[in-house]
Each structure stands twice: as structure tokens, then as C-alpha cells.
Amino acid sequence: MTDGRCPVAHDDPVPHDVAHDGPATPHRLEPDDQHAVNAGLRARGAAVPVLLPGDVPAYAVTRHEELKGFLAHPDVAKNARHFAALQSGGIPAGWPMLTFATVPGMTTADGDDHKRLRSLVTRAFTPRRMEALRPVVHELTGTLLDRLAEAADADPDGVADLRRHFALPLPMSVISQLLGVDAAHQDRLHELSNEIVSTATAPERVPAANREMVAILGQVAAARMKDPGDDLTSALIATRAEDGDRLSEEELIGTLMLTIIAGHETTLNLITNAVRALCNHRDQLELVRSGAASWDDVVEETLRYDSPVSYFPFRYPTRDLPVGDAVIPKGAPVLVSYTAAGRDEREYGADADRFVVTRAARHLSFGHGAHFCLGAPLARMEAVIALEALFTRFPGLDLAVPDDELVPHRSFVGNSPQKLPITLR
């Protein structure tokens, strides 16, 4: 991306609620039908003003080319010291999105500090450690497929919620085993993760959810300090840089929080969205079964077509920054919209709204640049193993309700239905 301006396309389909906004009227982000809204926001420009909970003004970057440039721009920061409204006291108490801005760790660090933290985490987050989880994922998948069948058999209509019985416990169990988290903590950590990620959480619950998650992860860290094991938490505690630097206790807890949330919420949504897409596009499923496409292709097209993360917070321009036809003011909080960019007609053509497993198009759903997701290989591995085993075991699997009856998750950060009712035969 250059600092020049790009022309605005005016012929995109514009949903009714967005079309009636004036050119400078911010769109209020809601956990809604994101793809319909995204089309209208892309039509307004590459960077559009939005309103966050608490009427906090922000911007969203919605087009692929400009988003790719923005993610790697040297004048875009992640540290909340650049968040003008937060620094001036303009953010309301208990703001539900505050954790995204202030959690200590790689996602809120810049420059040398980010390099230091990423280097320390990368030393522990090794390819060998990830590959060692492959048999674990296979074993868990088999166990959960049995439980999914039992849940469907127990229902009079043969219906089971794929999210609850399969897409959630698989990545939650894997990430917990990776971190050395006891099974007793897993359900509660998922509940707290949901509260933190949700953009509809009541203000009084936000600090309480954060405190409880920090307390649980503090117990995990203390247990691993006392009795180290072959897990990522123990490795993070033990890892030092060549100069003797290591993660502080606050950075360790922040890293564990990030890993728990991103390590299961993203994969949960990815598996759910892939199953939904395949059930709605049986011709694409047949391409995989015939060998004309692979399960890797399914995962990559799902990441583009229905990204598990939609509007991800936050980045801040360190100067007034032109993006497309707009200028984002210095210090404004910016969300990057992976769901909007994933269906940008300028990048993917007139059929950008179609799920095409042979498309082989690149996407930005794991980020780009210095903050590219470290856990991407693990998420891809889990999704490929899960989808192949699921549709091999249950070739007649289908949605139990019409697609338009699926209710979106209560967040515009995460992107997935709250439930995915399916039948297995």
C-alpha cells in the first residue's frame, strides 16, 4: 500500500441499513449478518468510520489490497499508548473491548518489544511441539465423533449440535493439552473466553471475567513452575533469550490468555464454518470426495469465504494515515475486517461470494506482516484432520435447519453461528 488514495467503487451491492448512512456517518457495528453489512461497508470505501460499544468512534478496513498494506504499514501500531481516546480518559469504565487493547503480550506490542516477545514465544512454540500433537488430534477426533453420534442417537429427531459436541471440545482439548491446563478448568476457560470475545458483554462483567481468567491462568502457571512438564507453559517459563531475558509474570499470563482464546475460538469457528459451507455447497463437497480438491483446499477457502475472525481489534495509526479514499486520524482505534476483505470483488472477482474449493486464492485471515498468527499451522492441522474424519465417518451429514435460521455469535469479533444443528444420516 502506498500513501496515495484509491478510487471508490460505487457499483457494489449496498444493504438497506448501510445505504442510508451518509458518507461520513459511522456505522454501528453489531453482531449481525456480517456479510450483508460488509458488502455495504466495502462500497463506502477501504476504510470506513464505525461506532463500537459505548459509542466509541473507530475505523474498519474492509478491502483486501488496502488491508494487506495496512497490516504491514510501519506507521501503524498495536500498543494502546497510541490509542488517543484511551489515553485522554475518553473510554467508558467497563468497556467490553478494553481487554483487546490492554492485555500484555505480543498482540499489543510494537517494534523491539514485539520482536523480543515473539522470539521468546517462538522458542517454545516449536514445529516439533506442534507436530507432536498430530496423533493427539487424531485420537481426540475419533473419540468426539463417537460422542457426536451418541448425542444424535439420544435426540428424538437425530439432531446434534456440531459446535457443542465436536467443533468446541476438539480445539479446547488440544490447546489445553498444549499448555498443560487441567481438564477441570477447560469448560470455565471457554465460558470466560466467550465473555471476553463477545462485544455484547455487560460492562460490569468485563473486569470480573478478566480477573477470573487471570486467576485461573495464574494457578496453571504456578503449578507448572512447581512441577514443570512437557507443555508450552513450562517451556515459556523456562525460555530465555541469549541475553538472559524472559517473559515477565504479567507477559506470561497475557500470552497464556491470548493462546487459550485464539487457540480454540478461531479453530472452533473455522471447523463450524467449513461444515456449514460444505453442507450448503454439496457440489464442492463432491469435488473433495472425487479427489479434484483436498481438505486443505476446503480449509483455505473457508478462511477466505467465512473467516473465523471478523472485525479484529486494534491497531492505531501513529500519524494521520490515508487508506483508500479516507484518512484515518492519528490515534484512532482501527479494526481489520477479515470477513469483509475475504469477499472483496476487487481481489477475488465477481464470484467472491461463492464458496469454491478449487479457487486457490490467498487470504488474510491469519493476518499479515509482523503479527502473522503463530498458531496458524496448528489451526490448519486440526481443521483438516477434523473435517476429513467427520465427512468420512458421516458422509450423509447435513444441516438440520435452514441456513437462514442459524443465529450469529454475539460478537462482531468472532464469526460463526451460536449453534450448528446437524443430522448424521
Percent of the chain past pLDDT 90, that is, above it, reads 64
- Nearest-angstrom CA–CA distance, 13 and 10: 9
What pLDDT is recorded for position 243? 64
Counting every residue written for the chain, the total comes to 425
Q: How many CB atoms lie within 10 A of CB 325?
A: 16
Give the DSSP letter string of 268-293: HHHHHHHHHHHHH-HHHHHHHHHTSS
Top-ranked range on mean pLDDT: pick from 165-179, 226-240, 282-296, 406-420? 282-296
Least Cα distance to 266 among 406, 176, 378 occurs for: 378
pLDDT level of residue 240 (50, 70, 90 thresholds): low
- For 174-212, the pLDDT digits (tens) are 999 888 988 888 889 888 887 877 766 677 777 788 889
- For 112-139, the pLDDT digits (tens) are 999 998 988 888 888 888 888 999 999 9
- For 145-181, the pLDDT digits (tens) are 999 999 999 999 999 999 999 999 999 999 998 889 8
Q: Which residues of 80-106 are buried (b: 16+ CB within 10 A; e: fewer)?
A: bebbeebeeeebeeebbbbbbbebbbb
Q: Is the pLDDT of residue 342 over 80?
A: yes
- For 5-30, the pLDDT digits (tens) are 333 333 333 333 444 344 468 999 98
Q: Is 90 helix (H, G, I), strand (E, B) or coil?
A: coil
What pLDDT is recorded for position 17? 41
- Please name every residue paired with 335 in a beta bridge, in sequence order, or none if there are none: 60
- Nearest-angstrom CA–CA distance, 214 and 254: 8
What pLDDT is recorded for position 196? 77
What pLDDT is recorded for position 242? 60
Q: Is 253 helix (H, G, I), strand (E, B) or coil?
A: helix
Angle at 415 between CA 100 and CA 173, to 5 degrees: 80
What pLDDT is recorded for position 425? 83
- Nearest-angstrom CA–CA distance, 319 and 127: 38
- Nearest-angstrom CA–CA distance, 6 and 418: 37
What pLDDT is recorded for position 11? 35
Least Cα distance to 313 among 329, 328, 333 occurs for: 333
pTM: 0.90
Specify the higher pLDDT residue, 252 or 83. Answer: 83
Q: Is the pLDDT of residue 246 over 70?
A: yes
Question: What are the residue ranges of helices labelled H in 239-375?
Answer: 249-280, 282-290, 295-305, 338-342, 345-348
Q: Is 399 helix (H, G, I), strand (E, B) or coil?
A: strand
* Of the listed ranges 103-107, 128-132, 201-205, 339-343, the one predicted with least confidence: 201-205
Average model confidence (pLDDT) for the chain? 89
What pLDDT is recorded for position 112? 93
pLDDT level of residue 241 (50, 70, 90 thresholds): low
What pLDDT is recorded for position 183? 84
